[in-house]
Amino acid sequence: MYLSVLGTPGRIRGDVEVPNSKYHAHRALILASLAPGVSRITGLTDARHVQYTVDLLRGLGIKIDIDGNTFVVHGGQYRPRRGTISAGSSGTTLYFMVGLACLSDRDVVVTGQKYFQRRPIGPLLDALRQMGVDAQSPTDCPPIAVKARRPVGGEVHIDGTLSQWISGLILLAPFAKNRTTIVVDGTLNERTYIDLTVKMMRQFGLHVSASADGYRYEIEPNQQAHPADVVMPPDIGSVAFGLAAAAIHPSDVLLRGLLQTKAVDSDHPEADFLDIVSSMGLPMEFDEKARGVRVVHDGIRLNPVTVNCRDIPDMLPILSTLASFADGETVFTNVEHVRLKESDRVTSMLQLNGMGGDLDFDGSSLKVRGVDSLAAADLSSFNDHRVLMSLAVAASAAEGRSTLTYPNAYRISYPRFLDSMNLFGLDMRVENGKAPKTTAKSRRALQVDQDAIERAAAVTGEQWVRRWAGERPGETAVVDARKTATTYLTWHDLDERVDRAAALLLSLDVGPGDRVAVQLPNWSEFVVIAVAAMRIGAVVCPVMPIFRQREVAFALRRSEARVFIVPEEFRGRRHADEAAAVLEGGDLDLTDVLVIRADQPEALPETAGVRWHDWDAALDRVDVDRAAIDARAPDAEAAAQLLFTSGTSGEPKGVIQRHTTLSRAAAMEIRHLGLRRNEAVYIPSPLAHQTGFLYGMWLAFVLGAPQLLQAEWDPERALQVLRGWKGTFVQAATPFLTDLVKAVENGAAPASSLRIFVATGAAVPRALAERATRVLGTTVCGAFGTTETCLGALAAPTDEPVKVWGTDGRALQGVNLRIVDDAGKLLPDGTEGNFELKSDTMFSGYLGRDDLTAEAFTDDGWYRTGDLATIDDAGFLRITGRVRDVINRGGEKIPVAEIEELLYRHPDVEDVALVAMPDERLGERGCVFVVPAAGGALTFEKMQQYLDENEVSKHYWPERLEVTDEIPRNAVGKIQKYVLREQAGSLASQRIDDRSN
């Protein structure tokens, strides 16, 4: 069950009856029970924790009748009916009665509901023992064994944190054998509640002398309580929620029974709330005829205030809601003891940040800056009545539908809360089912051990989809978030579409082991096609959407792909036309090209020997033969993916990965990070890259979680997707993290659900990680992996920040890392050397290049990463350099040798070297140093034109050109790239727009 709150934009109107004060009721009932005779307490309250006090007193043998609107209490000697009495889940009942229980005629045990038995009251028990009460508990929590004997009295010291502890001592002290002095140590909080206790004791003939500052109380012994008739005043603590709702909505409401708009002449301990909301600008008028306070306005912005929470601690939650709608900053000071209530109410109200609020807690003060609006969210009430009601009121003015856990918590103090809010026209209701959970603590972790990893490794990519379609058919599987519209597929939808796409591939004679090349952005069609290819035993060959004709032609030729699937158009490029141009070059094994239309269909290109198909039309023509599809299901050891590297040391290499490797790699990360069943995996990295394919799509398959796809990067849209679909996990290159941080710093609302951001491609700079943790509220983890090895090292949320930030993580279980010198000798911790890796997630080899496969491994089976690195004594990896001078631009490796070779062939170039230039956002950019040929003059614009003519992806173009007289070389003629990197570093501070000297 959960509380559903639908935002209500219009005016609220109506009238509700204000309940009677629960604070007065507790004290009056207890004092009446101590007074021999009959007392009448007029003004019933249906607050559940008052009923707990009634039930406990009845358990002590006190007769309490109800006559109309009046409690009739027959006071006298406590004669327990049984050896155990319960305070239910009422802290007030427990604190007030645990000491008074010693006045019984027999020993008793004071207990509470199961979860309430974790309520610590050690300071109160210590003080009671100082008074001579024998109250014992091994845990300082209920149950508490109390001996039947009058207290002795004497000087008693008690901490001033909670007023109820002090009130509990004051209520007992008049019945001690000797004079009692109660001394409050430390800071005194909530004095108004103690003052109410002392005042009401006087009404029952008990006298307490209090010092002016409230830190010392003198109580004479052997006093006798006398019966009294008491009328309960209205409960300002409950009416606060009605006033708050009236403040944040255009209103015409009446709060019947509230007879004042100021705190003056009220003994209610929370009466100051009236003065606070008045100073915030809430228009309140007492309507004498209606006998209530009326609030009428057409919409207001509240004033910020400063509130000392020592005076009015229980009002912090609802005042936090009001402050979120104020113009300016409201400050709540001295909030430490507010964190000791039913929940940590300060931290609980920080959930308003997840709704677009702006709250900051520094340990002693809570600062709330007003915002223009709130957005719906799924929240936790922590089973705290005030948190539940305060967040519900906030949600009533938010855009959309919010949910709250523990929906009935309000009943303990304000049972008519929901009825009252609905009478105003607000839409709040308790729904059956399971409330969405967004907090880390509320998520159920997957139990992933080594056996579970091995079981996962036996599952193919397509089997994951079949499984979840059977077990969770209606749950979300794929969210396709495009610029202006978002669509989604359930697991049933996905499985059905995969079968149809698989039938289409079969109709094109695609069989086991055949390669299906896919050059698509992060659209749902990519997921459908990848799974469809695997479902019939084919191998999916992703091609990056940024690749131009040169790179595409190489991938198609080397892969020997039978089918090529492209979008008609994406981001201004007409991929279908580009594919036709590639096919005109011939020398390919393609038989079919399928075109997915982004906009209106146009005539398809024609190419000799190749059939062209419209994707949607082709799907409509096929009949699905499930048996024929299932008959071609692959074994887990079969190849699943052919992915081309960036070609950093020469031509790109085709990396072959098996189903078992990909499933094992995903399961290993799930275990390492403690990922949970209800994650939502956000994927901004291209699905055609291993980060997006394996640690986005495939990871979501293994988790059975929705994957949130975004094809065109826009950080504000990304945050919108993360918020709306409650994204919890993302693995992507550092620039994505940088842009999200900047977007939030520039005013975009963060995504409170996002728990983990794994930054790949390069170590996360410490300053960025600290900013991201603070700004996004997410854990940032560094990682290292390659297309060939999958992830080898990864930090975890439980690691020390000093290790997580600025390193590339530590080995996953089942992975071995080492640093060796050039002779292969193992180096000590912290020593830089050649980084090598061994893992069960190793690739099957380079397609058609056994020589390169053999070269990638040492004689004893370790993979040569080509990186320089260190590993510290705690096992954390730090990449320090690149043996092959790779440029890492935003997580993508630029093929330095290929670009250098191409530029070297330019007639205006005599010599050339391409090196990395540091960049704040992307990590590195390319800076090319050129020695011009005699009579030549290569400009930046001419270089771009030349690369474009040679069909080089713009992603690989150098972003700075420096003309120089010579390229520095050592004695044997090797280029001293470290010298050029130093020069590029000094140039990095200059504007990138000034790209040529």
Place of tokens 């409201």: 330
Cβ-contact 233, 221 below 8 angstroms: no
Those residues with Cβ within 8 angstroms of residue 12's Cβ, 6 or more apart along the chain or in another chain: 245, 246, 249, 250, 251, 252, 253, 424, 425, 426
Q: Do residues 806 and 769 touch, judged by C-beta distance below 8 A? A: yes
For residue 382, give the 3-state DSSP assignment.
Answer: coil
**Three-class SS of residue 897?**
helix
Which contacts of 802-805 are long-range, i.e. CB under 8 A and separated by 24 or more positions? 803/874, 803/876, 804/769, 804/779, 804/780, 805/764, 805/765, 805/766, 805/769, 805/770, 805/780
Q: CB atoms < 10 A from the CB of 344, how many?
A: 15
Q: Which residue has the tokens 């309250």?
A: 45
- The answer on whether 91 is annotated among ligand-binding residues is yes
119 assigned binding-site residue: yes
Classified as helix, coil or strand, 660 is: helix
Is residue 902 within 8 A of residue 912, CB to CB? The reply is no
Which H or E run includes 158? strand 154-159
CA–CA–CA angle 388, 393, 397 (5° rounding):
140
Candidates 159, 235, 272, 314; catalytic one: 314
H-type helices in 364-414, by residue range? 385-396
345 annotated binding-site participant: yes
Nearest C-alpha neighbor of 464 from the set 702, 720, 734: 702
Determine the 3-state secondary structure of 191 from DSSP.
helix
* Cα distances (Å, whole numbers) of residue 906 to 550, 915, 946, 948, 967: 17, 18, 8, 13, 17
The answer to the question of whether 118 is labelled as a binding residue is no
Specify which residues 894 forms β-bridges with.
887
Contact yes or no for 197/7 (Cβ under 8 A): no
Sequence-separated (6 or more) residues with CB below 8 Å from residue 913: 900, 928, 929, 967, 975, 977, 980
Which tokens go with 411?
Answer: 């009943």
Measured from the Cβ of residue 340, the count of other Cβ atoms closer than 10 Å reads: 15
Q: What angle do CA 347, 410, 261 make, to 5 degrees?
A: 90
Q: How many helices (H) and strands (E) does the chain have?
A: 31, 50
- The yes-or-no answer on residue 314 being catalytic is yes
User: What DSSP string runs through 829-867?
Assistant: TT--EEEEEEETT---EETT-HHHHHHTB-TTS-EEEEE
Q: What φ, ψ does residue 530 adopt, rounded to 5°?
A: -60, -45
Q: 27 a known binding residue?
A: yes
Query: In whole angstroms, what is the distance from residue 187 CA to residue 195 CA?
Result: 16
For residues 325 and 302, what is the distance between their CA atoms, to the nearest angstrom? 6
Q: Are 565 and 516 in contact, with CB atoms under 8 Å apart? A: yes
- Per-residue burial over 819-847, b if 16 or more Cβ lie within 10 Å, else e, is bbeeeeeeeeeeeebbbbbbbbbbbebbb
The number of beta carbons lying within 10 Å of the beta carbon of residue 303 is 17
Write the DSSP symbol of residue 104: B
Note if the bond before 143 is cis, omega within 30 degrees.
Answer: yes
Q: Known binder of ligand: residue 803? A: no
227, 35 Cβ separation under 8 angstroms: yes
Q: Is the dihedral of CA 797, 802, 807, 811 positive or negative?
A: negative
DSSP assignment of 62-87: -EEEEETTEEEEEE--B--SSSEEE-
CA dist 704 and 679 (Å) reads: 9
Which residues participate in catalysis according to the annotation?
A: 314
Which residues contribute to the annotated binding site?
22, 27, 91, 119, 163-164, 314, 341, 345, 386
Which residues contribute to the annotated binding site for 3-phosphoshikimate?
22, 27, 163-164, 314, 341
Which residues contribute to the annotated binding site for phosphoenolpyruvate?
22, 91, 119, 164, 345, 386
